[in-house]
Amino acid sequence: MMAGVEPENLVAETPDTCGAYPRLTPSQLEALGEVGTTVRVSEGEVLARAGEPLVSFWVVLKGRLMVYKGDAGLGRSGQEPGDDGLGGAAAKVEIHGPGRFVGDIGLLEGQPSFATIAAVESGIALEVPIEELERIVTGDPLLGDVILRAYLIRRSMEIGYGAGLRVIGSPFSPDTRRLLDFAARNRVPHRLLDVERDPAAEAIMRRTGLGVDDVPVVIVAGSRILRNPSIVEVAHALGLRRTRPPATSDLLVVGAGPAGLAAAVYAASDGLSVVLSDAVATGGQAARSARIENYLGFPAGISGAELADRANLQVAKFGATLFAPATAQSLTSDEGALAVQFSDGTSVSPRAVVVASGMEYNRLAAANLERFEYTSVYYAATINEARECGTDPVVVVGGGNSAGQAAVFLAGTASHVHLVVRGADLTASMSRYLIVQVERHPRITMHLQAVVVSANGSAHLESVIVEHVPSGERDEVATAHLFVFIGATPATSWLAPDIARDERGYLITGRGATPSGSSRHSLETSLPGVFAVGDARSGSVKRISAAIGEGASVVRMVHDHLETGGCRL
């Protein structure tokens, strides 16, 4: 029996209260049996260990399997009962009987297991190779969706629970915040152990011989220690960056937001060799939305994270190469031969490039705010940020859909949400359905025609000053968490200055891109063979559906460019 697991925890099967643990039907089990192997398991037999890659998908046929999410070896000395030994919540034990399956979305993404899976009693399990599971998830609309939906729900639960990575560091350290942001953007469960306040952080550092120079420290699956790692090192440890891109390809897509994901999926499905890169993670700004309610086909809404995870599976299904995290630094063209250089020294020479690098968030011009930029200012409102804020009051700045979605989502856990809007009302840039939710929510207070002018605090943010612009009256609002959604600027600085841009830096496409109006394609930039889609493009509609539409449309133009050798009118 594992340390910290009491016998009574192994009696009852974990209830399925939210669709995370469905029981497969006989016909579904039969379909899996056609591609799997029936295996006899003994009591206590370990099928997968935390920190190691998962090589199989396991389904219970007879008996019960235990999923143990807790300490895999660190910090057991002096450990309290139920404590995971890593300063997180109590170790979590799940019990699954016949018809249930184990694992989460990381199994399909090549990540190491964050849990240990073992047999509670002797029985029979069905072992399915990962490649067969991938085929079912991406090809069987019924069985595949049952598994995928359960996996996505489980991952969301694990993020809220704070399972997975442990990051030991100071919340006031830019390096620590960088690691936390990377984990959040890649939808990896994680928890911060504050090295200055959390006794568990000090105990782990002492027990493992870690020093000040090693901080921040990342612990993967309770066993693998990374000392002051780079983002790329963490990505490798998590299986997020498993391959290097080929030196040449038909198409390189820079930026893996909705537009870039769509371009990669449609181009790869057409048979083109495709490399998709992103500086941090797939999903772009959309992945930071807790719930998107106005996307066609999802009447109940869909989280940006789920949309990104589903798209990731399609990218893999059609054979595109995902290269992330990878920061594009330059694009050159030598007599039509394109080359993109990345910050790690990698160079890719594609026949065509789609720029889908999106935008970078605007910073709030408020006095003293730079002191708290890496500790108290957020540009996304997901379950990670909500967990960090807890029930504390929060301030959201902005009057668009992103701000409205954030306010409504955070109001579900925060004691109060102050929404600071520069305009006289919300109708200018917020959808009507969101306005209704904001106005009706009892824990949201709107400050119209108002701006945040300064921030106060010592070690951390304690309050902000909100000024009502017409009257000049100022109020001090107590908060340790400030969310900023005031627009963004195009992320196009990595491109050569001679590529045509408008006055705000967005890439001009179509006939307006060149003085002679010689561009053949509406999404082609002034540089032949280089196309722009989504938020980085001048005149684009800043909506997810529009970005996906452009990503799909540009593939036809890429085909035409490749077939004609890039000849322009």
Secondary structure, 3-state, 159-208: HHHCCCEEEEECCCCHHHHHHHHHHHHCCCCEEEEECCCCHHHHHHHHHH
Model confidence at 277: pLDDT above 50: yes
Fold match flag (7-161 vs 165-237): no
> What is the band of 2 on the pLDDT scale with cuts at 50, 70, 90?
low
Report helix, strand or coil for 560.
helix
In this structure, what are the phi and psi dihedrals at residue 12, rounded to the nearest 5 degrees?
Answer: -95, 145
For helices 143-161 and 130-139, angle between their N-to-C axes, nearest 10 degrees: 110
CATH class of 369-486: alpha beta
Are 225 and 278 within 8 A, CB to CB? no
Give the domain ranges of the chain: 7-161, 165-237, 248-360+490-564, 369-486
Mean pLDDT of 282-309: 87
What is the architecture of the domain spanning 7-161? Answer: Sandwich (2.60)
| Run of H or E including 348 | strand 347-355
Mean predicted confidence (pLDDT) in 107-122: 90
The stretch 337-363 carries a mean pLDDT of: 95
> pTM for this one?
0.83
Regarding the domain delimited by 248-360+490-564, which CATH topology (the fold level of the hierarchy) does it fall under? FAD/NAD(P)-binding domain (3.50.50)
Query: From CA 262, how far away is CA 260, in angstroms rounded?
Result: 5
pLDDT at 117 over 90: yes
pLDDT tens track for 473-506: 999 999 999 999 998 899 999 999 999 999 999 9
Sequence letter at residue 76: R
With 60 as the cut, is the pLDDT of residue 381 above it?
A: yes
* CATH node for 165-237: 3.40.30.10
Strands 482-484 and 394-397: parallel
402 pLDDT above the threshold of 50: yes
Q: State whether the Cα torsion 148-154-155-157 is positive or negative.
A: positive
